[in-house]
Structure 1
Amino acid sequence: MEAADPIMLSALQHWSYCPRQCALIHVEQAFDENVFTMRGNAAHERVDDPGFETFEGVRAERALPVWSDRLGLIGKCDVVEFHPDGHIFPVEYKHGKKREKIHDDLQLAAQAMCLEEMTGKTITRGAIYHHGSRRRREVAITQELRDKVEDTVSAIRAMMDSGKLPPPVNDARCKECSLNEICQPQALTERAVRHSLLETLFEPEGT
């Protein structure tokens, strides 16, 4: 039996934000830039360059490739800190100011689970570095977050196997999405509403 294609770690963040966005990027290979993606690229500029630094005994690896054979995941960690006491601490860089976002935490947890499988060590915490405020937000890698990673991987795999694009959401998320022009959420949603109205227009009353 042929092995399934691995899922990129970034797909979990995309799926959590919007399943249709995830499908457009990771199935249709569609991508476009806007001010938000450009800010994200700027935030990642330094950590996209592989290498390492050591400070007070902590070795910080940049752009570290990671994977999980069990989950079928592959990708890179922006920064992984290896501390003298043996604990491992992944750090994901995001543009914008410090605030909690479940889709960012989900991606970080998936990175931690990959590192656990690769190293055999348990990882209980990581951090999101918010470039806009130059501050870290620590994230506990809880069982609840791990379960969400498993569920999200299953949902993405099912979507990829089906080959079908999820429907557009057409809500506040679309304003910040670089794929708005490709996705056409408003037009597709309006078309679906018109189709539904046409289907019910000639139905006899009381049915």
Structure 2
Amino acid sequence: MERDTWVTLSALQHLLFCERQAALIHVERIWLEDLLTASGRLLHERVDLPGHDARRTSRVERAVLLGSDRLRVAGRADLVEYLRDATTPSGWRPYPVEVKHRRRKLLDADRVQLCAQALCLEEMHGVEVPEGAIFSGVEHRRHVVLFDAALRRLTEDSIERMHILLRTQSVPTAARAPKCDGCSLEPRCLPQVTAGQKRVRDYLRQRVTAES
């Protein structure tokens, strides 16, 4: 029987990295930790304690709960900075900041996860959120992300794709790729085995079709 539920913000990054990984984690509930994921978890533990800092022109909220009824997506933002802005009804404009433990160029997965936070904030506060930032814990620097129309479309499409996986309880077949070597779930995913099984099924199906 099909079912539907809300999508978590973290699921979007898994989805953009690999749909099979997203399904293994969020449908099959499989999770394995390696050095990279452990380092990221420890970094997030330092910023995931709820709290706030107030200044004259801004305030910072940590571990902010977010949600969108329209998109049926929810989760928690590492940091949301509220910047003074006289053009908004409340006098503040939210600015989401996502913390990542790595030194490399931004991926679509990073941008989509951050943009989803912005879409939640826009619905919650009734103001436009035009940009946010990814903070690299290794580099100790920010990378600004603009929430343009293309990124917003990609984000909403990704949310819908994740809803479909959850609703149908689907686990896509593995497709071996270089990124598999850096995935903590590789020992449980077994891309060589499952991809090989698919090739055998395709071969047998082609033979049956050709002989019929």
Task: Give the TM-score normalised by the residue count of structure 2.
Answer: 0.90
Equivalent in the alignment of 1:141: 147
Deviation at 1:198, TM superposition (A): 3.8
Equivalent in the alignment of 1:70: 70
Deviation at 1:200, TM superposition (A): 4.1
Secondary structure class of the residue paired with 2:174:
coil
Task: Return the alpha-carbon distance in structure 2 between the equivalents of residues 173 and 73 of structure 1.
Answer: 27
Structure 1 letter corresponding to 2:168: S
Secondary structure class of the residue paired with 1:63:
strand
Deviation at 1:6, TM superposition (A): 1.0
Instruction: Give ranges in structure 2 of 5+ residues lacking alignment.
Output: 86-91
- Higher deviation after alignment, 70-79 or 153-162: 153-162
Task: Return the alpha-carbon distance in structure 2 between the equivalents of residues 126 and 203 of structure 1.
Answer: 53
Deviation at 1:100, TM superposition (A): 1.6
Asked if 1 retains the 8 angstrom alpha-carbon contact of 2:5 and 2:166, the reply is no
Equivalent in the alignment of 1:162: 168
Structure 2 letter corresponding to 1:120: G
Deviation at 1:5, TM superposition (A): 1.6
Task: Return the alpha-carbon distance in structure 2 between the equivalents of residues 153 and 120 of structure 1.
Answer: 21
Task: Give the 5 Å matches for 1:98-137.
Answer: 98-137=104-143
1:23 aligns with 2:19: no
- Residue deviations 1:153-185, cap 9 Å, x none? 111111222222011121111111111111111
Task: Give the TM-score normalised by the residue count of structure 1.
Answer: 0.92
Asked if 2 retains the 8 angstrom alpha-carbon contact of 1:98 and 1:136, the reply is no
- Higher deviation after alignment, 192-201 or 163-172: 192-201
Q: What's the RMSD between the two structures over aligned residues? A: 1.9
- Residue deviations 1:6-45, cap 9 Å, x none? 1101111111110111111111111110111112112212
Task: Return the alpha-carbon distance in structure 1 between the equivalents of residues 164 and 144 of structure 2.
Answer: 31
Task: Return the alpha-carbon distance in structure 1 between the equivalents of residues 123 and 114 of structure 2.
Answer: 15
Instruction: Give ranges in structure 1 of 5+ residues lacking alignment.
Output: none
**Count of matched residue positions in the alignment of Structure 1 and Structure 2:** 204
Asked if 1 retains the 8 angstrom alpha-carbon contact of 2:132 and 2:146, the reply is yes
Equivalent in the alignment of 2:187: 181
Task: Return the alpha-carbon distance in structure 2 between the equivalents of residues 24 and 204 of structure 1.
Answer: 35
